[in-house]
Amino acid sequence: MNEIKTKKIGSTFAREISHILSEEVKEPLAKFVTITGCDVTNDLSFAKVYFTNLKGDKEEVINSLNKAANFIELELSKRIDIRKMPQISFHYDNSYEYGQNIDKLIEELHKEEE
């Protein structure tokens, strides 16, 4: 499968998973999760769903989301017409913290120059 098609599928998955988490999953920690992206393998076997959260411990939220993964896969199969539903796994997206750290380092460099 070409890269453009897998990116489009990943984008669709991210949008639908966001909706499922906010509207249908009964897990309280899932309400404070923001889906930031989804990478799907070329053969549609696996999908890595990246998220950030506002509340709760990262590991606790990951465990909670992975427990709900089967329900989410079932809901996705009802909403998206795809020949093979990938196995979903959730991963914390630490790019925000990484960006914050880079900003902090740049500010420190500017202060040293002054």
Task: At 83, give phi and psi (nearest 5°).
Answer: -70, -30
Strand partners, 23: none
Give Cα separations from 64 to 33, 38, 48, 94 (angstroms).
Answer: 11, 18, 15, 18
Q: Are 65 and 51 in contact (CB under 8 A)?
A: yes
Confidence label for 2 from pLDDT (cuts 50, 70 and 90): confident
pLDDT in tens, 21-39: 988 888 877 878 999 999 9
Q: Are 13 and 77 in contact (CB under 8 A)?
A: no
Is the full-model pTM beyond 0.95? no
pLDDT in tens, 39-62: 999 998 999 999 998 777 888 888
Tally of CB atoms within 10 A around 100: 11
